[in-house]
A and B are shown apart, each in its own frame.
Chain A
């Protein structure tokens, strides 16, 4: 099952945020840094974590255009890759690149978040934070 589980206590808030039009990541208030992927407690100070809403500005680390019959879950071609949020450049979000073609993309370019429905071949569509050139 590819569609995310919004009710999962550890990871659901990310996907609930997307439904609400917000990009959220797991954050340690004491360390004032993102902790990604989310965990029960901060891996540095063992403090409690909360979900922090980010601006949606990010930098494109790298991407790939998937054209071949690699992934049975999605129609091809599609653009997927890694971005680093402006407020937490030391983490990476796996994402999609939308409203653009591969030729528009450059590593380290500024990108900004959009919220779009992704439709797997099987299962329900879901709202996901994706990115487009800023």
Chain B
């Protein structure tokens, strides 16, 4: 479909004017995710990001039934230190083929948009099989006092000049402020908000790889916890973890001959808020840039929320996940607190029973903080039918990515084979 037609379709969702959707080309059905790989996830482990990345990449390539010399492209995140470089790949695998390299990959919003970049690279003949990988060692760094996720924010000039001096920092403080506003506007209370961390923890309790696998959480124990930054408790905030994950993207027509059921990229969206990058100045603080990403992805995939079987939402904070579930369109703005009650996000409440299973691996709150790349890996497992917390008859899945002032949406579909 022409980009202008996508724009017209996306606009039918009547998106507000405080942000914009980037005009991504239609890449529906061109790319498949054909291999996935993960390292163990953990607290401080002393593991090096590049070593972890290589472990995940090797696993993903093997899972796709490929050899390292078959890989023609490598995508990683910019701005996160010690990500994998082409020379690391070649040294480790003893390979020498040309590697198309992009820093518009990795996790967060790029866990969705990298599929679009990969499709364009494949069209242009730059690469056939492309690996996307993300690794992080923030748990080790925090333990060693050598860095935290707040550092990047603190390096922003205006944040340093006008926000840090007041103590409006780090991330839990500003998302707590936004959660407070949301509670005021829409009447959400802590008992309702608890549905997110409690459900994600139940998923993690059933998932042997999750960092919080052995840590149960009840509503009473959640409510008894003191606020960290009121109204958020520690259970409303993401973990800090070490680990890596990767996947292989291949041309869809080749995926049918590869080992696993085909998982096709059906829709991609990328939204951006005005006033970026300072979210203190974001015109609306009770919604997320997912508002501008989702309509484009749904238009490209020619689907809507009623057809989505399982979602994975960037849950840096419980309240941010709640807002994104609304902004994707699963319920109306302000109704999210009510919508997520009655186990609606639990994996055993499939769509036909009125649920929308969410973060079935435990999410950033209870699986690990790999910044969203594990979310997409989990959706691939769901569509293959191999997830630990498998949702019944999963055909279409959606990921909501987030980086404060930008959001992204990825729609994946199980192929016919």
Could you tell me if B228 and A68 are in contact, using CB atoms closer than 8 angstroms?
Answer: yes
| Proximity string of chain A (81-125) to chain B, C-beta cutoff 8 Å, 1 when within and 0 when not | 110000000111111100000100011100000000010100000
Of the A-B pairs whose beta carbons lie under 8 Å apart in the complex, a sample of 12, sorted by A's number, is A11-B158, A37-B281, A62-B178, A67-B227, A67-B228, A70-B229, A80-B173, A80-B177, A94-B162, A96-B167, A107-B180, A118-B165
Partner of B173, one of A66, A92, A93: A66
A120 to chain B, nearest CB (A): 8
Could you tell me if B162 and A37 are in contact, using CB atoms closer than 8 angstroms?
Answer: yes
Residues of B within 8 A of A108 (CB): 184
Given known A-B contacts A37-B158, A67-B229, A92-B281, A80 and B168 have beta carbons under 8 A apart: yes
A118 to chain B, nearest CB (A): 7
Could you tell me if A11 and B229 are in contact, using CB atoms closer than 8 angstroms?
Answer: no
In angstroms, Cα B162 to Cα A36, docked, is 10
Say if the beta carbon of A65 comes within 8 Å of chain B.
yes
Say if the beta carbon of A53 comes within 8 Å of chain B.
no
Residues of A within 8 A of B169 (CB): 71, 73
Question: What is the interface of chain A, defined by CB distance below 8 A to chain B?
Answer: 2-5, 8, 11, 14, 36-37, 61-68, 70-71, 73-74, 78, 80-82, 90-96, 102, 106-108, 118, 120, 126, 128, 130
Could you tell me if A68 and B165 are in contact, using CB atoms closer than 8 angstroms?
Answer: no
Partner of B164, one of A14, A73, A78, A93: A73
Most chain A Cβ neighbours within 10 Å, of B164, B178, B231: B164
Say if the beta carbon of B119 comes within 8 Å of chain A.
no
Residues of A within 8 A of B168 (CB): 80-82, 94-95
The residue in chain B whose Cβ has the minimal distance to the Cβ of A130 is: B166
Shortest 9 CB-CB distances between A and B: which pairs?
A: A68-B228, A62-B181, A107-B184, A64-B176, A37-B158, A65-B230, A11-B161, A62-B180, A94-B168
The residue in chain B whose Cβ has the minimal distance to the Cβ of A76 is: B167
The residue in chain B whose Cβ has the minimal distance to the Cβ of A4 is: B165
Say if the beta carbon of B329 comes within 8 Å of chain A.
no
Most chain A Cβ neighbours within 10 Å, of B158, B167, B170, B229: B167
Residues of A within 8 A of B232 (CB): 64
Partner of B229, one of A64, A73, A96: A64
The residue in chain A whose Cβ has the minimal distance to the Cβ of B181 is: A62
Could you tell me if A3 and B165 are in contact, using CB atoms closer than 8 angstroms?
Answer: yes
A131 to chain B, nearest CB (A): 10
Could you tell me if A64 and B173 are in contact, using CB atoms closer than 8 angstroms?
Answer: yes
Say if the beta carbon of B163 comes within 8 Å of chain A.
yes
Residues of B within 8 A of A128 (CB): 165-166
Partner of A82, one of B167, B185, B280: B280
Could you tell me if A37 and B278 are in contact, using CB atoms closer than 8 angstroms?
Answer: yes
A58 to chain B, nearest CB (A): 14
Say if the beta carbon of B46 comes within 8 Å of chain A.
no
Could you tell me if B229 and A66 are in contact, using CB atoms closer than 8 angstroms?
Answer: yes
Partner of B285, one of A61, A74, A120: A61
A5 to chain B, nearest CB (A): 8
Residues of B within 8 A of A93 (CB): 162
Could you tell me if A70 and B170 are in contact, using CB atoms closer than 8 angstroms?
Answer: yes
Could you tell me if A62 and B172 are in contact, using CB atoms closer than 8 angstroms?
Answer: no
The residue in chain B whose Cβ has the minimal distance to the Cβ of A64 is: B176
Could you tell me if A8 and B173 are in contact, using CB atoms closer than 8 angstroms?
Answer: no
Say if the beta carbon of B305 comes within 8 Å of chain A.
no
